[in-house]
Amino acid sequence: MLFVNLHTPFLMRFLLPSLLNRDSQRLKVSNTDLGNGQAEQLLRYAGDGNPAALSQTYALVSMLHADAALAHQLTPKPIPRPRPPRPAPYPGAQKVLDIRPLPKEQLTGRRHVPHIRFINAERTAFLMFKKPQSPYLSRVLKQVNKARIGRLQFLEDVEEDIQVARLEAEWETLVEEAAKAEGQDPQVVRKGDKEWGASEAWTRDLARERRAVQRRLSASHVKAGEIAVRMMDIKDEEERLLREEKKEEKHKKNEERKARKRERELRKNDS
């Protein structure tokens, strides 16, 4: 009956082509009822094994599939959006922490003291020299945060698994003690369960993985501390150089002003 319901509208269009060309609503309703009856009768004959009905049904269904395939081919395919290029560092660019602060001769303008900025709740720090921020730096900071959050989440999950393994070990101990109290051999209880005692090995494996992740996390914390100290040193050195350059610039302007004043006095005396 499901096959009849699915294909009856399609069969009606071929069994009663005049249905689409009628303007009378009454005739359309009448032809619709007639088409439903003929389509269901054809499908029932085909279900009973009538060769003529089967042939006609296969031909109509083949036309249905051909129309669907043609419509699919004629449907315009959406143009995929071009994937934006992955942010990459400038070719030959050196790390900021290795080359800063720059000497005055290599500056293209006035010296700017960088600001130490923090992103999100993880308080990841970086030096901002200008706006907008480099896309490559944003990608690196995102990867660092993602790795750190993943390690912390892994430690939480492992801690829960270790608690479950310990509870299993305690349960096995209680079962063995109960077996001894009833005069049974604990070895018989162990042989009846293939996974008996696996909680201890599971606990050891989880503890080993936890130590490995903790070492990587500690190493990243040590490295982050070293980078933070380096960033503070760069900021302090940039501030010191900026004060010296301002002092030199002010002294230079004073000397130029004095030179202009002497030149005006000489012209005045000559006149």
- Three-state secondary structure string covering 127-193: EECCCCCCHHHHHHHHHHHHHHHHHHHHHHHHHHHHHHHHHHHHHHHHHHHHHHHCCCCHHHHHHCC
Same domain, 162 and 236: yes
**Of 13, 8, 16, nearest to 41 (Cα)?**
8
Same domain, 161 and 110: yes
pLDDT at 9 over 70: no
Same domain, 228 and 181: yes
Same domain, 101 and 151: yes
Same domain, 62 and 131: no
Query: How far is 114 from 112, CA to CA, in rounded Å?
Result: 6
Is 46 within a domain? yes
pLDDT at 44 over 60: yes
How does pLDDT run across 98-123, given as a tens digit for each residue? 888 888 888 888 888 888 877 765 56
pTM over 0.75: no
State the CB neighbour count (10 A cutoff) for residue 190.
Answer: 15
Cβ atoms of residues 130 and 100 within 8 Å: no
Same domain, 51 and 156: no
Position 8: which residue type?
T
First CA to last CA distance, the chain:
120
State the CB neighbour count (10 A cutoff) for residue 181.
Answer: 8
Same domain, 62 and 134: no
At which of 32, 50, 69 does a domain end? 69
Which pLDDT does position 181 carry in this prediction? 74
pLDDT at 77 over 50: yes
Which pLDDT does position 8 carry in this prediction? 47
Cβ atoms of residues 52 and 39 within 8 Å: no
pLDDT band per the 50, 70, 90 thresholds, residue 186: low
Same domain, 122 and 57: no
Question: What is the percent of the chain with per-residue pLDDT over 90, rounded to a whole number?
Answer: 3
Is 88 within a domain? no
Same domain, 127 and 202: yes
Same domain, 110 and 231: yes
How does pLDDT run across 132-155, given as a tens digit for each residue? 777 877 888 888 888 888 888 888
pLDDT at 240 over 60: yes
Is 74 within a domain? no
List, in order, residues 6 or more apart from 227 with CB less than 8 Å away. 97, 125
At which of 19, 54, 69 does a domain end? 69
Is 78 within a domain? no
Can you give the residue range of the structural domain that contains 37?
2-69
Same domain, 122 and 63: no
The CA-atom distances, in angstroms, between 243 and each of 100, 103, 109, 114 are: 16, 14, 15, 14
Number of domains within the chain: 2
Q: Is 120 left (phi over 0), alpha (psi -120 to 50) or beta?
A: left
Same domain, 7 and 42: yes
Is 12 within a domain? yes
Q: Is the peptide bond before 114 cis (omega within 30 degrees of 0)?
A: no
